[in-house]
Amino acid sequence: MAPHDSDSSSDDSEDFTTTDVLLGYASKEPTGDTISQLGGRPTWLDPSQPPSATLAKCKICNDYMPLLLQLHGDLPEYFPGHERRLHLFGCKRRTCRTKEGSVRGIRSVRVTDSSWNAKNKKAQKGAADNRSPVAAPVRDLGSSIFGVAPPSANNGLTNPFSSLPTSGSSSNPFSSNPFSTSSANPTTTSSSPKPAAPAISDLPTTFAQKIRLSSPPLPEPKPAIHPEPWPSDLDLPHPYPAYHLDADYETLDPASEQSVPPPPPMDLDDPISSTSASVSAAEDTETFESTLDKTFLRFADRLAQNPLQILRYDFRGFPLLYSKTDTVGTLLATHQPRFAGQEKSSGSGKKITTAPRAGSAAIGIPACHNCGAGRVFELQLTPQTIAELEVEEEGLEGMEWGSVLLGVCGMDCGGEDGGVRYVEEWVGVQWEERGRL
């Protein structure tokens, strides 16, 4: 039995699969994490330095949008010394739905490790040229990032989204540059002075004009962009109800995975009718399979095993697509892995599936507009998010999407000067399509 599905206990000998995906659940009870939340008002790394208010405005109607999700996103295994938070905002206007820019994502970052920052700048330059991310270290997101033990650990439930203290004073392998050398300036020999070249003004006018025409004009200085002040709560839309976040690794029961419905039973007492019915059923099944949206079936089956999940977190993984035929699905479907990963045995004898990691070049998300490095998938919201946020809403004019995907810079650029930097990231919304089945 998958967790958060029922209060009944499960048999330890039952065969199930645990994936690398962390599932988030909304909770009205405190979970020990004072940063991550669903709904409510946003908080910032530096309250005295909020982002420009334009980042929280709908690109369609230009109105402020309420907060959907705020996530404590520190990743010490990937970005030591980086403080990270992720924010998703969504417009409530019905006329803005299904339009790009009605859901926006912000990644805020502050770098406190200057030695890692120097190495990161060099890596960012290479990433901008090659459009490929740095090699991923061994994954243990649960224990080192969110405070959850890896799937193979046999311990009690903890909150994976809880804030963790800064790591100890471990040595930084990037603190020194092995490629830097110090040498004295080489001695130069003086040579006879060469005659000075004539000034352009002394040359014939026609030649000077040609020089000026062939030289590229200097770029005009861009005017300084002043961030729009963050408004007061009275000027912001009414927020969605606030929830704490709890989480656990995704657990799947292979026996409960649905497949194509079986054909109707045949009449075994009549051989002739049985034969004709068998042929007809086979044809009907083949026709039915061809009309099925298998991507949506996989999406629905996967969520049905943990129906209360509101968040799927899998940094540098691959999202669970709602559709392959919409704009987002078309962009990412060709890069979707064909297999679920390699199975390994845990200490308790249960199967643990390690999903293959996807690099920025293999995910299909557009590159970072800030530094040029490849973006990677980090998280997605599920339809249960809508049910939780709109529990107090009246009427049927709510959000209508199947999934909201967030792709972030694979180098976690920004904040190199020790201050807080806010970077808008890629958001892919897979809008709800009625009558799929």
On whether the CB atoms of residues 174 and 119 are closer than 8 A, the answer is yes
- d(CA 107, CA 114) in angstroms, rounded, equals 20
CA distances from 269 to 50, 273, 274, 281, 283 (A): 76, 9, 8, 17, 22
CA distances from 425 to 25, 89, 354 (A): 23, 12, 27
Summarize pLDDT for 172-190 with one digit per residue, the tens: 333 333 333 344 444 444 4
Give the range among 67-76, 231-240, 251-260 with minimum mean pLDDT: 251-260
Summarize pLDDT for 147-173 with one digit per residue, the tens: 566 655 444 444 456 554 444 444 433
Instruction: Please list the residues that pair with 401 across neighbouring strands.
Output: 431
On whether the CB atoms of residues 253 and 305 are closer than 8 A, the answer is yes
- d(CA 289, CA 190) in angstroms, rounded, equals 85
Indicate the DSSP class of residue 151.
T
Summarize pLDDT for 376-413 with one digit per residue, the tens: 999 999 999 999 999 887 765 678 999 999 999 999 99
Q: Give me the pLDDT at residue 398, please.
A: 75
Confidence check: pLDDT of 347 > 80: no
Of 22, 13, 15, 10, residue with least CA distance to 253? 15
- d(CA 65, CA 424) in angstroms, rounded, equals 15
Half-sphere exposure of 21 (CA within 13 A, CB side): 26
Global pTM reads 0.69
Summarize pLDDT for 123-153 with one digit per residue, the tens: 555 555 555 444 455 555 655 445 566 655 4
One DSSP character per residue, 295-352 reads HHHHHHHHHHTSTTEEEEE-TTS----S-SSSHHHHHHHTT--SS--EEEE-TTS-EE
Summarize pLDDT for 197-222 with one digit per residue, the tens: 555 445 454 444 444 445 555 445 44
Of 316, 213, 314, 298, residue with least CA distance to 260? 298
